[in-house]
Structure 1
Amino acid sequence: PFMRSVMEAPFPAPGRTVSVKSFLPGTGNEVLTLTRPVDSRLEHVDFDSLLQCLSVGRLLQVFASLLLERRVIFIADKLSVLSLCGHAALALLYPFTWQHTFVPVLPASMLDISCSPTPFLIGVLSPCLPELLELPIEEDLNRQPSDHQLSYCRPINVLTLTALSLTFCICIFSEDQVDLSSLVSEAFVRFFVELVGHYPLHMVESANGTKELQRDNFRKSHPSRGVRQLLQLFMETQMFAGFIQDKEMRKGTGRGLFEMRVVEYLESYPEPAPSGVNKFLKGLGDLCKFFHKSMTDLFFLIKFEVVL
């Protein structure tokens, strides 16, 4: 009866609870309340294994490929390494969720999956590598990215590399025991905050009462040209579409790490640049403020000299 109740109960949204009935001999029926964690991004995730297998530069290449929903194949000698690295790589995408094929360890009899034209993340054991290379995998899976493609990765590299550098400095110089997984996750969360943290400013209510994202305004409002180019690609992914839909469905639920960082980010988010008459009036106001400040500074300067 307990397992049946669990299977029949709807899967709760993060932060929500679900009640299931249980029968215990001697006590009769009992109602159990189960709560889904608001933020479970680090459950069963080990970034240490991923960082031991990949350099920071290679890690950012993998991250960029997953972010733009490309095809990625991990190859290792051990099953445990493939599984740990695969789950850790997808955990870097938080608060986004990978929407495509994920096979931590692909059996040798199913290597044909690597020929699929759709995005995937799969793990393959090293003994299967010769057979894998003989398959008609499309060229762009192994081809080096072009300069045009690399231009979209530069915002990813700059933002995340800076954050990761700070993370490693904290790990090296901190006297206290630090959790590497939490710090690495925080670095990539910061990247996503800088990338899409302004999305609440561009959510407008539609005719049917739901909120929709003003896509053009959202993309064009970012001050960085490189990030705007990256957003143009990223906004076409299923991850981004699922993220916006999930935020609309989860409104009013508890806040995770990303939501808390977005609130902090929006408090210091620059105001949009005015245009036309508003720009002229703002310039006039700034000029008045400048003269007022100059006269005030001059007054204090004169007063200071007189006192001396």
Structure 2
Amino acid sequence: MAPTPYLLGVQKHLLDQVTDQTDLLVVDLSEAKKETFITSIGDESSILPPKLQAEILEALTTRQKASTVEELNRVVSEAFLYFFVKTVGHYSSYVKFGGAEGPVFEKRSFYKAIESKTTRHFVKKFIETQMFDLFIQEVEHQQQGPQQGIFHKKIVEYQEKKKKKDKAKKH
């Protein structure tokens, strides 16, 4: 019922205290091999492309090795951060500055730049969410210049790794 989605972690013995809401997707991540949907909405299997779904689940499997709450939080945060860097991290190339109305995000060009059709389909839906809209509004209201923060740092790291990988493939 919130205007933006929340991702929460809850211990199993407290589950009955949070499942009284109807629009919740509840996933049991305690199983090492596979996630288990406890309650679902119905479109879970079609939202994320299988490859992206597998990558995020693979990244989350390292949670089994986390020995502290802080380490577990880091593993989960990094898994989702990497997911967003990979899917929408190229956004800054599609914020055009200098127009009379100020910076403008070129939404259509942004998602059309994604090569994978299944990822493009996900991103096309994702950019319509309030979460992404608020993010872009914040970007548009900033002055042109280098971005700050962990998300932007991870984008730069990802792009550098990708360039090295592409360069290695050419040789």
- TM bin, normalised by shorter chain, reads 0.5 to 0.7
Q: Which residue of 2 aligns with 1:203?
A: 95
Q: Which residue of 2 aligns with 1:53?
A: 12
Contact 1:152/1:226, CA 8 A, preserved across alignment: no
Deviation at 1:169, TM superposition (A): 5.5
> 2-side partners of 1:143 and 1:181: how far apart?
26
Q: Deviations over 1:80-110 (max 9, x none)?
A: xx4xx9xxxxxxxxxxxxxxxxxxxx8xxxx
Mark the structure with the bigger radius of gyration: 1
Contact 2:95/2:140, CA 8 A, preserved across alignment: no
Is 1:168 matched up with 2:63?
yes
Q: Which residue of 2 aligns with 1:179?
A: 71
Contact 2:60/2:76, CA 8 A, preserved across alignment: yes
> 2-side partners of 1:195 and 1:257: how far apart?
16
Could you list the runs of 5+ residues in structure 2 that have no partner in the other structure? 1-6, 25-38, 164-169
User: Following superposition of structure 1 onto structure 2, how do residues 68-217 of structure 1 map, counting pairs within 5 Å?
Assistant: 76-77=16-17, 82=18, 144-145=42-43, 150-155=45-50, 156-165=52-61, 167-168=62-63, 170-171=65-66, 179-208=71-100, 210-217=102-109
Q: Which residue of 1 aligns with 2:33?
A: none
> 2-side partners of 1:51 and 1:229: how far apart?
30
> 2-side partners of 1:223 and 1:268: how far apart?
18
Change beyond 3 A, Cα 1:170–1:247: farther
Change beyond 3 A, Cα 1:200–1:51: same
Deviation at 1:227, TM superposition (A): 0.7
Change beyond 3 A, Cα 1:221–1:177: same
Deviation at 1:255, TM superposition (A): 2.4
Deviation at 1:256, TM superposition (A): 2.2
Greater strand percent: which structure?
Answer: 1
Query: Taking structure 1 as the reference length, what is the TM-score of the superposition?
Result: 0.38
Task: Tell me which of 129, 132, 139 is aligned to 1:240.
Answer: 132
Contact 1:164/1:184, CA 8 A, preserved across alignment: yes
Deviation at 1:269, TM superposition (A): 4.6
Contact 2:127/2:133, CA 8 A, preserved across alignment: yes
Query: Taking structure 2 as the reference length, what is the TM-score of the superposition?
Result: 0.64
Could you list the runs of 5+ residues in structure 1 that have no partner in the other structure? 1-45, 55-73, 86-105, 115-119, 122-140, 271-289, 294-308
- Amino acid corresponding to residue 161 of structure 1 in structure 2: L
Contact 1:202/1:217, CA 8 A, preserved across alignment: yes
Contact 2:103/2:141, CA 8 A, preserved across alignment: no
Deviation at 1:226, TM superposition (A): 1.1
> 1-side partners of 2:73 and 2:105: how far apart?
32
Alpha carbon RMSD of aligned pairs, Å?
Answer: 3.8
Contact 2:94/2:106, CA 8 A, preserved across alignment: yes
